[in-house]
Amino acid sequence: MAGMLRSTIFLAKGLREFTRGGYERAAKRFDDAVMQRSLAGRRAMVTGANQGLGYQTSLELARRGATLYMVCRNEERGREAVERVRRDSGNNDVHLKVCDLASLAAIRGLAEEWLASGQPLDLLVNNAGLMLHERTPSADGYETNFAVNTLGAFALTAALEPALHAAGEPAAGTEAAAAAGGAACVAGGSSGSAAGGARVIFVSSGGQYTEPLEYTEPLEVEDLEAKRWKKFDGTRQYARDKRRQIALAERFSERWAAAGKRTRAYAMHPGWTETEGVKTSIPGFYNSFKNKLRNLQQGCDTTVWLCLEDGSMLEPGAFYLDRQPQAKHLPLAGTSYSSADVDRLGAALEQMAAPALPSS
């Protein structure tokens, strides 16, 4: 019964808010002065960057002057994407990082290379996403949707924490600027102000509304699937992963704040956007709603805005759609969870992600 109610409310909400029309209505209240700010001097990393929302996000950040690192699984497609972004943005400070986010060893390699360079990281956009409809094991033996969407995003964020926190530390002689804060800190580079601390953005999905938070072990293996759905359901697995990403944004932000760090995490929903992934992974949905889907620029608008807006104006751990925090649960949907549940999820992922974390 709860599942049917969730689906009905979700569809009604989606048609009203997640479509191109929903974006166009929301855009009437946007302050686009924020979108004119510069990201010069700030280092940004975008995963799943060779196509779709990841590519468009990369292009928008490069246009605003970011030093950009595009994380792609396939080197050839990644190089082509980097060249297109350089050409179309006029920004040559765009670079490729090859990494299969389904592999903990590959994530560790990427993180060790970055940390060895000594560079801070101002912006991490966990965009890479996967929806496979057949159970496929990752290199580490996890179900591959889970390995990329949940474990990979968690492991990469955790592995890069030293670089993220370094971006939030005041540079020598900038104490006054750190105290002043403000929009100039966001626009001007790796300031140590609250506005200038590093940001991690999880590109989630409205699909998360349809599933509760799964935090008990095993999170992704057959035992759990067999109990709930006799046949593996990639769409539900994806929705569970997207719910977890929202919980991870909460947990990272709370943990960092408690430790006195300036880094913060946010989750966002791009709305129902026309991508190749949507066309191939959920063709029935695409065929039903293709005339209502957002374009790529509309889909990545909130991600780019989260990179540009004053930190003091943002709500750490929130779930954003169209530049505003959203409720994380539908009414009467039965998907609420506690902070203890989120801690259990985090503890399980920490154990799983250990092979990806560089030695201190």
Residues forming the active site: 238
Rounded CA-CA distance 309/253 in Å is 17
Task: For residue 319, report the phi and psi dihedrals to the nearest 5 degrees.
Answer: -115, 110
Spatial contact of 37 and 10, defined as CB atoms under 8 Å apart: no
Rounded CA-CA distance 184/191 in Å is 9
Rounded CA-CA distance 357/185 in Å is 30
- 48: phi > 0 → left, psi -120 to 50 → alpha, else beta; which? left
Rounded CA-CA distance 322/324 in Å is 6
Structure-token pair, residue 347: 């503890």
Rounded CA-CA distance 187/291 in Å is 36
> Which residue shows structure tokens 């002689």?
173
β-strands 319-321, 324-325: how paired? antiparallel
Max Cα distance, the chain (Å): 61
